Amino acid sequence: MKLENSFSVAAISDLAKGCLADSPEGSTVRFGLAAEERVALRLFLKEGRESLGQASLAEFALRQTDDSNCRNCHGQMESVPPFDVLGGKLKPGWAEKLLLGTLGERPRPWLHARMPAFPARASGVAKGLAMLNGHSPVTPEEPPLDPEKAKVGRKLVSANGGFFCFSCHAIGSLKPAQVFDAQGINLAKVGDRLLPEYFRRWMSSPLRVDPQTKMPAYFNQGQSALFDILDGDAGQQIEALHHYIRLGGEMVPPEAPGQ
């Protein structure tokens, strides 16, 4: 049965009538508003309605991630990054591809848990999370690669006089040599994922960033145990590592032990 709408309301521009009137008449809905509440609503409808159409990407990201229960995995499951660090960790462009489901590969293929895609909200969430952490919603440009620094970085990840990073991490086509508690992401994929500031903080003190991480600390109070490389200066070594991982698919893996 088709029912006709028999109700009528005052025009929103006629703020002295309808439910905002001082004394609503007839069948007008009565919300029990106090006088100061009616005044505030009238003022808002007169001068502030445009604000309803102003999108905040940060607020959008918070609403959408709350609706999607992102914290049920991020921060609760082992080996899944905590939610609160994501916006300050991932490059917005990479995060958007992850949420779109267009990466073509999983960052941690060995995990049983699978990151779902949210294509309808991917762009807003990726940009909003970055903004919540004080970063630009657009992936920042980086300075040109320094081949000499990248060469030092390759030495630092090696087993021959380096940190032996490929004991847990794959490096391009070089598979992990001997994973202990937890496997790490392929270092050839790290440069596309991580914001430079995050990489530096992470390398300086992994446990301060994520208390549950299995990643060991290699630097202490600005110094490295590898004192024969760049005078043991932690900042310079981390910078060299960053230039190396930025090579991505063009990385030349380090030599295996004994070579």
DSSP code string of the chain: -----------TT-TTSGGGSSS--TT-------HHHHHHHHHHHHHTGGGGG---HHHHHHHHHHHTTGGGTTTTSTTSPPGGGHHHHB-HHHHHHHHHT-SSS-SSTT-SS-PPP-TTTHHHHHHHHHHHTT--SSPPP-PPP-HHHHHHHHHHHSSSSS--GGGTB-BTTBPPS---S-PBPPGGGHHHHB-HHHHHHHHH-HHHH-TT--PPP-EETTEES-TTSGGGBHHHHHHHHHHHHTTGGG--PPPPTT-
Domain finish residue from 79, 103, 132: 132
Assigned domain for 29 exists: yes
Tell me the per-residue pLDDT of 19-63, one tens digit each, with 9 for 90 and over: 888 887 777 778 888 989 988 988 888 887 777 777 789 999 999
Q: What is the DSSP string of 121-140?
A: THHHHHHHHHHHTT--SSPP
Assigned domain for 240 exists: yes
Report d(CA 182, CA 118) in Å as an integer. 28
Can you give the pLDDT at residue 27? 72
Q: CATH number for the domain including 240? A: 1.10.760.10
**Domain identity same for 125 and 173:** no
Can you give the pLDDT at residue 24? 77
| pLDDT at residue 253 tops 70 | yes
**Domain identity same for 61 and 36:** no
Token output for 255: 């030599």
Q: Confidence band (pLDDT; 50, 70, 90) for 100?
A: very high
Tell me the per-residue pLDDT of 186-214, one tens digit each, with 9 for 90 and over: 999 999 999 999 999 999 999 999 888 88
- What average pLDDT score do residues 223-236 get? 96
pTM across the whole model: 0.77
Can you give the pLDDT at residue 235? 97
Average predicted confidence (pLDDT) for the chain: 89
Can you give the pLDDT at residue 258? 56
| Residues 6 or more apart in contact with residue 16 via CB below 8 angstroms | 22
Can you give the pLDDT at residue 252? 94
Q: Confidence band (pLDDT; 50, 70, 90) for 257?
A: low
Q: Confidence band (pLDDT; 50, 70, 90) for 79?
A: confident
| pLDDT at residue 15 tops 90 | no
Can you give the pLDDT at residue 41? 87
Token match 């004994």: residue?
258
**Domain identity same for 155 and 202:** yes
Stronger pLDDT, 23 or 234, i.e. the higher one: 234
Assigned domain for 218 exists: yes
Which residues partner with 169 through β-bridges?
Answer: 184
Angle, CA 61 vertex, CA 60 and CA 65 arms, to 5°: 120
Domain containing 123 equals 57-132
Can you give the pLDDT at residue 52? 76
> Dihedral angle at the C-alpha atoms of 58, 61, 67, 72, nearest 10 degrees?
-110
Q: Are 171 and 186 in contact (CB under 8 A)?
A: yes
Can you give the pLDDT at residue 259? 54
Can you give the pLDDT at residue 131? 96
Task: Please state the domain count of the chain.
Answer: 3
Neighbours of 37 (CB within 10 A): 12
**Weakest-pLDDT range from 67-81, 134-148, 177-191, 216-230:** 67-81
Token match 């270092």: residue?
187
**Weakest-pLDDT range from 160-169, 174-183, 197-206:** 174-183
**Domain identity same for 151 and 239:** yes
